Amino acid sequence: MVRIALVTGANKGIGLEIVRQLAEAGVQVLLGARDVGRGQAAADGLASKGLKVEAIQIDVTDGKSIATAAAAVRGRQGRLDILVNNAGIVDAEDGPPTMASPEAARRIMETNFIGTLSVTQAMLPLLRQSPAGRIVNLSSSLGSLTVNGDPTSPYYSARLIGYNASKAALNMLTVQLAAELSGTPIAVNSVSPGYVKTDLTGHTGYMTPEEGARLPVKYALLGEDAVSGRFVEPDGETPW
């Protein structure tokens, strides 16, 4: 049986590489993108190389868009085996708690946490139709409360209250959803891909998108003995 995956925010960066690597592993991938044209162009580029990739429009901040996407998957595929919640943003007006724009923090939270929660809820009935559903939430080491409070951490000075809080909230979703789905075939994990050169980081990372996609893809393809409720990065497990 060919597995079916949906990757959100996937027309560029890590998301596009996750789509590529899943498709190269034999997965049929739905490349989710907010912009129809960009999503279709990205999907066509991969499909032209013989990969099973098709575009699907989904804006994680738009409930109607999410519902339409879920209905489309239900109608065409009937189930979903893998959901990779990759869509996320940063905001130029974010910063330390004393300086960040509350509006920026709200925008970030709306996409990175509320959007992921909304997509997951909409796709969960389809994941329940899979013999081994997998949910991968793209997190960040900046979402770790332990890391944020450790002066010896290289991330200690990265004070972005909106972004960091959104990833901490995302991790809470992972913890609670994994507990709620305990005893089912669905595994849920938070995966930090590392510091990757993408538009989101201003291309200041030390990893390529291809390298950054490897760990999320690994957790998307976990077998029958899959772990659940973990927070991992390339160097190993991350403290919550």
The per-residue pLDDT string of the chain (240 residues; one tens digit each, 9 = 90 and over) reads 899 999 999 999 999 999 999 999 999 999 999 999 999 999 999 999 999 999 999 999 999 999 999 999 999 999 999 999 999 999 999 999 999 999 999 999 999 999 999 999 999 999 999 999 999 999 999 999 999 999 999 889 999 999 999 999 999 999 999 999 999 999 999 999 976 656 555 556 657 878 999 999 999 999 989 999 999 999 899 999
Tokens of 43: 């999907």
Q: Which residues pair with 6 in a beta bridge?
A: 30, 83
Among 144, 153, 146, 151, smallest CA distance to 172 is for: 144
Q: Is 5 in contact with 83 (CB distance < 8 Å)?
A: yes
Spell out the domain ranges in the chain.
4-237
Active-site residue, selected from the candidate residues 155, 163, 195, 206: 163
What is the reported pLDDT for 218?
Answer: 98
Give the count of beta carbons closer than 10 Å to the beta carbon of residue 61.
15
User: Alpha helix locations (H) across 101-238?
Assistant: 102-109, 116-127, 145-148, 161-180, 209-220
Among 63, 18, 14, 58, smallest CA distance to 39 is for: 58
Distance CA 213, CA 231 (A): 16
What is the reported pLDDT for 206?
Answer: 58
* Neighbour order of strands in the sheet with 28-33: 53-57, 28-33, 4-7, 82-85, 134-138, 187-191, 231-233, 236-237
215 φ/ψ sector (left φ>0, alpha ψ -120 to 50, else beta): alpha
Distance CA 165, CA 238 (A): 16
What is the reported pLDDT for 200?
Answer: 56
User: CATH second-level architecture of 4-237?
Assistant: 3-Layer(aba) Sandwich (3.40)
Q: Rg (Cα) of the chain, in Å, rounded?
A: 17
What is the reported pLDDT for 202?
Answer: 55
Distance CA 150, CA 240 (A): 12
What is the reported pLDDT for 219?
Answer: 98
163 catalytically annotated: yes
